[in-house]
Structure 1
Amino acid sequence: MLSHLAAAVLTLTAPVAATPGLVPAADREVVFTVEGTPTYGTLHVPAHRAGQRLRAALLLPGSGPTDRDGNQPHLSPNTLVQVADALGRDRVATLRFDKYGTGRTGLGAYRDHPETLDYPAFVRQAKAAYETLRDQPETAPRALSVVGHSEGAMTALLLGGTVRPRPAGLALLQPQALRLLDLVALQLHAQVAEAVRQGQLTPEQQRTIDAAIDAAVTALREHRPVDTTGLPPALAQLFQGFQGQNGRFVDSDDAVYPPAIAAALRPGTRVLLTCGTNDVQVPCATTDALTTALRRAHVGGPGRVPLSGVDHLLHDAEHADTPAPVVLDALHRFAGR
């Protein structure tokens, strides 16, 4: 347990159960402190018998300023709220929290020096959240899971091999399964190729931009200034944003190769890995090496589940604001009954 970890649980927001011996479903605010930063979260507890210990899952958001609900400024898909609802229907309690730079937590101890905030700090924060969930009176410590979306899935992998007790399961939803800058380069090359297909760029321009993208990635990894010559303004701005205040985070995130992390998982750990066929941010092919590594680690199923027509936010064409039915089915298979 982290030496600075402390948990404080605030009052229930739901009324007292009307049925004797039955506690109704409720959300409550949870606060835990890690490395000097009070971190705020929501614990959802499904309806249960008084004194019953429930299976529980820690929910981890994707990259950027994504809060406990899975939302960013000007973008509110409520991804983690909806995952919590889906798991709650299978009687799984969940904890989701505002990571550094989001919601009520904010930058916390990093407020005066945000340039020192790196990816391992987010992993330590997630570890503290896991321990907080473990210690709740309604949860069964030996029946905990970690459910991560996008970058949060990579964090879930790291927790899977380090926390105690080891998670019974990991759900890796549209996971970051490559090194960060490799994934960024892949995404950008695909966007450039699409622009050529639509006649917005010529093949010669494509070659110039692709070479500039690869050179920018090399410069970042060698800790050299990025030469943005040959990059369109939007891409130049993107790579400039990877330097300076954000440089330490990008460098530390890019150092993680998710397939290598799989080797630390306990054999038999229940693992779900989803990939959406309409996910342009994390195409299914990017999860091939991770899928192979998980198999070699002898983890349990369901394994990789391709989601037909599903995008990165777990939606399909007929469900623009809610998880697609195939997503809900995959979560149900993971949670079981």
Structure 2
Amino acid sequence: MFFRLAAVVLALTVVTVTPAEATPRLVPAADREVVFTVDGTTTYGTLHVPAHRAGQRLRAALLLPGSGPTDRDGNQPPASRPNTLAQVADALGSDQVATLRFDKYGTGRTGLGAYRDRPEELDYPAFVRQAKAAYESLRDQPETDPRALLVVGHSEGAMTGLLLGGTVRPRPAGLALLQPQAIRFLDLVALQLHAQIAEATRQGQFTPEQQRAMDAAVDAAVTALRAHRPVDTTDLPPAVAQLFEAFQGPSARFVESDDAVYPPDTVAALRPGTRVLLTCGTDDVQVPCPTTDALTAALRRAHVEGPGRVPLPGVDHLLHDADHPDTLAPAALDALRRFTER
């Protein structure tokens, strides 16, 4: 009887001396600005940290935007404000993943930075170096777990993510390639233009003969650009002619260096076992699902882990569907959850 009573007293003593302060304090969700410098350019970004216990190290994802002047939120103001990356950050935050998104060159607070007076020297590798610096900044944040870093890229940002995945240290635990640029840049441009010309012909804007002439002119323009020859725009509609003229202007160095990357070739450098998600929307006219076939096969050969390629029914390039024109489609949200599930 004495021993049982003593055990009870001891147990009570242990309970009563445990201080209330031993329970970790809950830190509310918050955004804060992150600033880092790369190649002489101060780059500005937003770190979103979900609610967590004080001292807890979180999984964290670097978010990479698509092509053109797309800022940290996935917008090209003033005309286009889909908030794609801001919405991805919200979705990941709900799954306890911190995120860093930033204004790349030519956007937001960052602007052109060191390239302000020489924009013609800005090439695609400069954007990759900027993304690498962002990854390192995310790695060093006090709330993030450097052993559980992720890279989430949209469109061209997915190609950048692939390049990071095989070069940064530590290697990311996972890559999410959302509607990725999965073939060479000029091949993708030609594919998009052929589709637009075909649709215009279907609507009666061009004759079949005009369509054939324009298709041939697009292919010839791509060949000329790759051979560093002037582009003949005689048989091209004005808007298409202006596009190829721009490719020969201040953007020439960027176009050439971007087009030099064939995304399936970058996959071999990934660490085997890397968790990879690749989405393709069935209503995505910018990056149709068949353009991801070679990349999907390369990922399979690289022995990465799933979810792998996930088709998104009715989803467009901005991850919207007909019922959700301003927010991420449920299919896209579900794919992200599959990617982050432990």
Above 0.5 in TM-score? yes
Distance 1:330 1:120 in 2: 29
Query: What do residues 252-311 of structure 1 show as CA deviations (whole Å, max 9, x unaligned)?
Result: 000000000011111110000000000000000000000000000000000000000000
The one of 230, 241, 244 aligned to 1:239: 244
The one of 36, 56, 59 aligned to 2:60: 56
Residues 20 and 299 of structure 1: CA distance in aligned 2, closer, same or farther (over 3 Å):
closer
Query: What do residues 25-68 of structure 1 show as CA deviations (whole Å, max 9, x unaligned)?
Result: 00000000111110000000000000000000000000000000
Distance 1:193 1:111 in 2: 39
Normalising by structure 1, what TM-score?
A: 0.94
Cα RMSD (Å): 0.9
- One-letter code of the match for 2:27? V
- One-letter code of the match for 2:134? A
* SS class of match (1:250): helix
Query: What do residues 164-219 of structure 1 show as CA deviations (whole Å, max 9, x unaligned)?
Result: 00000000000000000000000101111111212211110011000000010011
* SS class of match (2:251): helix
Report whether the alignment pairs 1:41 with 2:50.
no
Q: Structure 2, unaligned stretches of length 5 or more?
A: 1-22
1:274 corresponds in structure 2 to: 279
* SS class of match (2:138): helix
2:189 corresponds in structure 1 to: 184
- Which one has a bigger Cα radius of gyration? 2
Report whether the alignment pairs 1:31 with 2:35.
yes
Report whether the alignment pairs 1:263 with 2:268.
yes
Moved more, 188-197 or 134-143: 188-197
Distance 1:243 1:50 in 2: 53
Distance 1:244 1:233 in 2: 16
What are the equivalent positions in structure 2 for 1:195-234 lying under 5 Å apart?
195-234=200-239
- One-letter code of the match for 1:27? D
* SS class of match (1:273): strand
Distance 1:235 1:153 in 2: 26
- One-letter code of the match for 1:172? L
The answer to whether the Cα contact below 8 Å between 2:178 and 2:280 also exists between their aligned partners in 1 is yes
2:124 corresponds in structure 1 to: 119
- One-letter code of the match for 1:93? A
- One-letter code of the match for 2:140? D
Deviation, 1:20, is 6.6
The answer to whether the Cα contact below 8 Å between 2:152 and 2:177 also exists between their aligned partners in 1 is yes
- One-letter code of the match for 1:258? P
Distance 1:188 1:246 in 2: 19
2:20 corresponds in structure 1 to: none
The one of 143, 149, 166 aligned to 1:161: 166
Report whether the alignment pairs 1:152 with 2:157.
yes
What are the equivalent positions in structure 2 for 1:101-112 lying under 5 Å apart?
101-112=106-117
* SS class of match (1:245): coil
Q: Structure 1, unaligned stretches of length 5 or more?
A: 1-18
Distance 2:106 2:199 in 1: 33
Distance 2:265 2:202 in 1: 35
- One-letter code of the match for 1:124? R
The answer to whether the Cα contact below 8 Å between 2:28 and 2:52 also exists between their aligned partners in 1 is yes
* SS class of match (1:280): coil
Normalising by structure 2, what TM-score?
A: 0.92
- One-letter code of the match for 1:156? G
* SS class of match (1:244): coil
Report whether the alignment pairs 1:142 with 2:147.
yes
The answer to whether the Cα contact below 8 Å between 2:152 and 2:158 also exists between their aligned partners in 1 is yes
Residues 20 and 302 of structure 1: CA distance in aligned 2, closer, same or farther (over 3 Å):
closer
Distance 1:187 1:105 in 2: 30
Distance 1:300 1:308 in 2: 23
Greater helix fraction, Structure 1 or Structure 2: 2
- One-letter code of the match for 2:249? G
Q: Size of the alignment, in residue pairs?
A: 319
Distance 1:297 1:122 in 2: 25
Distance 1:51 1:123 in 2: 31
Distance 2:44 2:305 in 1: 32
Report whether the alignment pairs 1:90 with 2:99.
no
The answer to whether the Cα contact below 8 Å between 2:197 and 2:211 also exists between their aligned partners in 1 is yes
Distance 2:233 2:43 in 1: 38
Runs of 4+ in structure 1 over 6 Å off: none
1:4 corresponds in structure 2 to: none
Report whether the alignment pairs 1:21 with 2:25.
yes
- One-letter code of the match for 2:139? R
Distance 2:308 2:65 in 1: 21
- One-letter code of the match for 2:98? A
